[in-house]
Structure 1
């Protein structure tokens, strides 16, 4: 690391920096245990202010170093890179310092406040960012008013508050423009949030499902309130009983349990249809399991769950246990109805497991119920004549350029006519 030469610095600022270093060296080993509470507190506050003042000075010198291309003589790609290399700072850190220093060159009221110790570094960063974000059509006089307004607020607000206040800056200095800018900003934020919506889920093969999601802030707040309501002590007491030990603050474990409860209790009749069946979970279990045996039950996805969980879901959630047949729903409608019912779709899903075209792996929820033989050719709307086909293969079943061949095991194959 470079230091001052033996003959000492010539510039007054350089000499001041050297003197500060020497004064700190003088007290480097000085014990502080004898400080009273008042003196320790006052010294701590004053030291914080002096560090802020040094930050402003550091920025001014860094901008001069960049202007005279410090580091160019040794082949450094930039003063910022040279600075990071010489001091052991990260490139991100030196870049951020130069960015603030550049902003302070434009916003003189902020620079003066930082130089005097009336402003902290993080406050200055937030304020200059808010000022730089002002629309281009804001005039110079209004910009000065905005700068003074935020610097005044810094006396009573930390950087977090200032960031929030900075977003509503135009509302104070120009209410009409502020409303329009807020509308534009919110529209842009919501547009970006919609573009970034993501949800990924993966089964680890050991009974757990892991996931990550990114959703807009509004929906995130709604979900958070729903989960907190389900995880609240009052709700938990109602579910687990008065004697249960319940934490006051929802833990990650309780919020996870609340998410499971939300999924289980969501009314399936509110979900969209897919292939004539809404997103209903179908659990297949034999009568012995329903009545208390411990044989595993099977979901329509192929996953298995314990008998106890299957019985609980059958009692509490919006699922249809196949052994019960729903509410004794009629599955054989013969020629009395043209389209297959939801109950028939579910029965076909259990029976056929998905698209019956050879080599196709589309699940039941994405399939159509097809008459085989065709309804127009006398086919019945029942399980005997019902066949699940994905949209692609359903189209082929009705395409005269393809022949349909029934295969052993209930599958069908499609061949283009020659």
Structure 2
């Protein structure tokens, strides 16, 4: 008795496929005629869909495997046994659960190789989002409609069916087909929910890589991303450069991601600081510290005040970069003498004005509470000697503290110790 004859029909089919593919592992498809390769490519995609559907269906029925093997879920156990990515398998499991629970026609189309996993994921997501108030008959019509568009079996679908991107748009408007009387109302609710969810998940992370580059990772609502892309593409247009509006003359020769990266810098340099919010006593200002001799020569380095940077709130840049920044509006060069004392940072008659706050920020960079990294622009200026007791409001008598440490500074239940480096240490009185 052969090994395959002792297996179930499902396992036998998998074994036969693996054996057959193993026999052609050394064959080179590049020698096949082009028509045969064209057919082979489409058949391989269909085979992959069938294999994926069978794996999903098996995983959906194998919760006991995870229980017996002590795994969190069957996807985690399969990933451990096969060296695959558990997140991908768990994503498949979600589609499998949706298909098994409510959308059998999607699974059937995958099983015959007519729908890919990506198409099935988009279709099930659209079907799962249908409002609860539509009946089962409308749900079935929606499933049949979207499956037909994905497989290409409908007359209004292209040969081979719509891809995931188009299917997503069609799934969002499927109510226009199966329940047009409520489509607009439900679409408005859906968009409002999407916008609220996007707002709640919006984030932007800035992390220095330590090699002169910083990684910026942002998750923003689609309209914000579209606006940014529009603005960046304006800077990447060679025509804009020729018109004298700051476009990139090399944009046509650069990959889009590189052209947009360079355009991002140009966009920031062209912002009008006068229209930016006031914080820390002045409108948004970039402060560059540079030695006077280096400012007047081509060699040397400068410091760009950056409260978010790991190097004590100061990012090192070249002198050439500093000179270029100094030509941009709202760039404040803090020229330093031999002992790094501030030679010229602006004077004002009133104390703790914007210029003084800038000087305090340049000096302290962050809150002076011990171990605190709150940036200077978010801090409050504090008198070391209280004004009410004759203290002077000058730079030597001022220090920047965040709201939390400023509160402790004035809290009678706390004691304050000034450390050798000028930081403030606080203890609760006993």
The corresponding residue for 1:185 is 190
User: What's the counterpart of residue 142 of structure 2?
Assistant: 146
**2:327 maps to 1:331:** no
Q: Do the aligned residues in 1 keep the contact of 2:95 with 2:124 (CA within 8 Å)?
A: no
Is 1:130 matched with 2:126? yes
1:201 and 1:134 map into 2 onto residues whose CA distance is 38
What per-residue deviation string (whole Å, max 9, x for no partner) do you get for residues 77-104 of structure 1? 99x89x979x979786699489659837
- Structure 1 position 254 matched with structure 2 position 259: yes
Q: Equivalent of 1:387, from 373, 390, 398?
A: 398
Are 2:377 and 1:368 aligned? no
Partner of 2:239: 234
Q: Classify 1:53/1:318 alpha carbon distance in 2 versus 1 (closer, same or farther; 3 Å).
A: closer
Give the paired residue count: 399
* Residue equivalent to 2:309: none
The counterpart of 1:213, out of the listed 182, 200, 218, is 218
- Go from structure 1 to structure 2 and tell me whether the alpha carbon gap of 1:384 and 1:176 turns closer, same or farther (over 3 Å shift): same
SS in 1 for 2:142: helix
After superposition, give the CA deviation of every residue in 1:340-385 in whole Å (9 maximum; x if it has no partner): 321221133345555567887655323323456555566665x367
**How has the CA–CA distance of structure 1 residues 319 and 5 changed in structure 2, closer, same or farther, with 3 Å as cutoff?**
same
Residues 278-332 of structure 1 deviation map (CA, whole Å, 9 limit, x = unaligned): 4422112344333336343233333332221111100025321124999995323
Correspondence 1:9-408 to 2 at 5 A: 47=43, 51=47, 96=92, 100=96, 103=99, 107=103, 123-124=119-120, 126-154=122-150, 155=152, 156=158, 157-237=162-242, 245-248=250-253, 250-292=255-297, 294-300=299-305, 301-323=313-335, 329-333=346-350, 340-351=352-363, 363-371=375-383, 374-376=386-388, 383=394, 387-390=398-401, 391-395=403-407, 398=410
Instruction: Indicate the larger mover: 391-400 or 306-315.
Output: 391-400
**8 A contact 1:406–1:413 mirrored in 2:** yes
Q: Which residue of 2 aligns with 1:336?
A: none
The answer to whether the 8 A contact 1:276-1:342 is kept is yes
TM-score, structure 2 normalization: 0.66
Q: Contact 1:314/1:321 (CA < 8 Å) preserved in 2?
A: yes
- By how many angstroms is 1:165 displaced? 0.9
* Root mean square deviation of aligned Cα: 5.7
TM-score by length of 1: 0.67
Tell which deviates more after alignment, 176-185 or 241-250: 241-250
Check conservation: 2:369, 2:424, Cα contact below 8 A.
yes
In 1: Cα distance, 2:427 partner to 2:28 partner: 91
Q: Which runs of 5+ in 2 are unaligned?
A: 153-157, 306-312, 337-341
Within 2, Cα distance between the matches of 1:103 and 1:43? 28
Pair member with larger Rg: 1
